[in-house]
Amino acid sequence: MQSSDSTPHHGALVLFSGGQDSTTCLAHALTRHERVETIGFDYGQRHRVELRQRGEVLRELRARFPAWSARLGEDHLIDLAVLGQISDSALTRDMAFEMERAGLPNTFVPGRNLVFMTFAGALAYRRGLDVIVTGVCETDYSGYPDCRDDTMKAMQLALSLGMDRRFLVETPLMWIDKAATWRLAHALGQQGDAAGGGDALVRMIVEHTHTCYLGERTQRHPWGYGCGTCPACMLRAAGWARWQDQDQRGDGHGG
C-alpha cells in the first residue's frame, strides 16, 4: 500500500497519538507529502499524559526540523469519549493488564481502529487530503485484528467507496519490528534538515514520545520514559536494545 512517486496526492492526514510509532509515521509523511495534517482522539484515556506529549512532539517537530515545519499543518483532536460507553478496557478503567481468554490483551477495544480510520477518512475528505497514514503493525501487535494489513486494505476500499473519493492508506510500519522502527526514524531524521540529522529525530522520540501503558514519566531509560515493565515499555525497550546491538555490529543504523 505504498504510493508511487508518480501518483499525484493532495496531502496526508496522519493518525497521531504522540507515541513512538505514530511519530515515526508523521516523519515518514513529512518526507513524502508537501502538506501534512494530524488527527488524534480523546477517548477517555486513563492517562492524560499521552495527550500532553502529543502536543510536545508537534512543538518539537516544528521547532527543530525546519524542512518539515513548513509542511506541517493543522492538528485535529477529536473527542471520542463515547468510546468509553462501549468498551471495558484497561486503558479507560482501572483493571489489571491481563490477557483475556481470547488471547487478546484487555486493553483491546473491539474495532477501535475502524472507528479511528472512519473519522480520519471523514476529516481527510473535509480537508481535501487523500492519503491517510497510520502506524498499525502486524509484527508486534498481531493480537489486534483491526491493525492487520487485510483490515487496512478493506478500510481503504470502504472509505474510497463510501465517500466516492480515492483514498490511499499508507502503513509504513506494517511489516517491520520495533528495532526497524528506530532505524527508520534515524533514516527519516536525516531528511528533516535538523541540526544533528537522524540522531536529532531519534533523540526527540526518546525524550518526548509516550508509550507506557501506566502513564509513567519519571523514570528515564536510554529508550525514553516509562515504567519499563508494562508490555508497551518492554516492546519499546527490546526494540531499542536490538537496534543498538545491530548498530554496533554495523549492519543497520545510518541507513
159 vs 237, beta carbon nearer Zn ion = 237
How far apart CA 155 and CA 118 sit, in angstroms, is 8
Query: Which 155-184 positions form the footprint of Zn ion (CB under 5 A)?
Result: none
Mark residues 191-220: x for contact with Zn ion by CB under 5 A, - for none. ---------------------x-x------
Q: Verify binding: residue 227, Zn ion, rule CB under 5 A.
A: yes
177 vs 216, beta carbon nearer Zn ion = 216
Residue in 226, 236, 237, 240 binding Zn ion, rule: CB under 5 A: 226
Q: Measuring CA to CA, which residue among 252, 189, 229, 197 is closest to residue 24?
A: 189
The CA distances from residue 20 to 106, 202, 238, in Å, are: 21, 10, 13
| Listed ranges 11-19, 57-65, 193-201, 223-231: which one lies at the site for Zn ion (CB under 5 A) | 223-231
Q: Verify binding: residue 123, Zn ion, rule CB under 5 A.
A: no
Backbone angles phi, psi at 175, to 5 degrees: -115, 15
How far apart CA 244 and CA 75 sit, in angstroms, is 33
Cell of 123: 476529516
Residue in 230, 239, 243, 252 binding Zn ion, rule: CB under 5 A: 230
The least distance separating Zn ion from the CB of residue 46, rounded to whole angstroms, comes to: 13
163 vs 214, beta carbon nearer Zn ion = 214
Helices (H), 45-111: 49-64, 66-69
40 vs 226, beta carbon nearer Zn ion = 226
Task: Give the pairing of strands 224-225 and 36-42.
Answer: unpaired
Q: Verify binding: residue 15, Zn ion, rule CB under 5 A.
A: no
Helices (H), 1-137: 20-32, 49-64, 66-69, 112-127
Mark residues 49-68: x for contact with Zn ion by CB under 5 A, - for none. --------------------
The least distance separating Zn ion from the CB of residue 229, rounded to whole angstroms, comes to: 6
| Listed ranges 50-58, 141-149, 154-162, 221-229: which one lies at the site for Zn ion (CB under 5 A) | 221-229
Residue in 233, 236, 252, 253 binding Zn ion, rule: CB under 5 A: 233
How far apart CA 114 and CA 152 sit, in angstroms, is 9
Is residue 176 within 8 Å of residue 139, measured between CB atoms?
yes
Binding-residue total with Zn ion (CB under 5 A)? 6
Helices vs. strands in the chain: H and E counts, helices first = 8, 7
Provide the binding-site residues for Zn ion, judged by CB under 5 A: 212, 214, 226-227, 230, 233
